[in-house]
Amino acid sequence: MKRPSKGDDLPPAVSGWASSSFREAWPCLHEWMSADKWEDGGPRATTTLFLFVDAGCLKVMLKDRDAGRVLFLSAASLDELLAGLEARLREGTGEWKVDRPPAGRGRSK
């Protein structure tokens, strides 16, 4: 992997980040990640998804910024991870935890 030089520009943000095949395969996850309004039209903070490997295990953290909670999941493959997230969001079966700020950082009130 080539280390980027300090002068390298980041690509511009893309508003249509998810392809139609992603939306078709993972409709609940897509909605969680992209919906910026509630059904009543009120503003909603979009969800953040962190994908990482920990001790050789593929893991994800889904951060519901609007509700201040997080959902963790691990799986053997990316497809299993996305399928697990989709099922938990669709069925409402995920074990959400309170999102805590990192040590030494407080939340704005």
- Are the C-beta atoms of 73 and 81 separated by less than 8 Å? yes
Which residues, in sequence order, are CB contacts of 65 under 8 Å at separation 6+? 45, 46, 47, 48
Average pLDDT over every residue of 22-38: 89
pLDDT in tens, 44-90: 998 999 999 988 889 999 999 989 999 999 999 999 999 999 999 99
3-state helix/strand/coil string of 36-61: CECCCCCECCCCEEEEEEECCEEEEE
In the structure, what pLDDT confidence band is assigned to residue 21 with cuts at 50, 70 and 90?
A: confident
Q: Could you tell me the pTM of the whole model? A: 0.73
Q: What is the pLDDT of residue 34?
A: 86
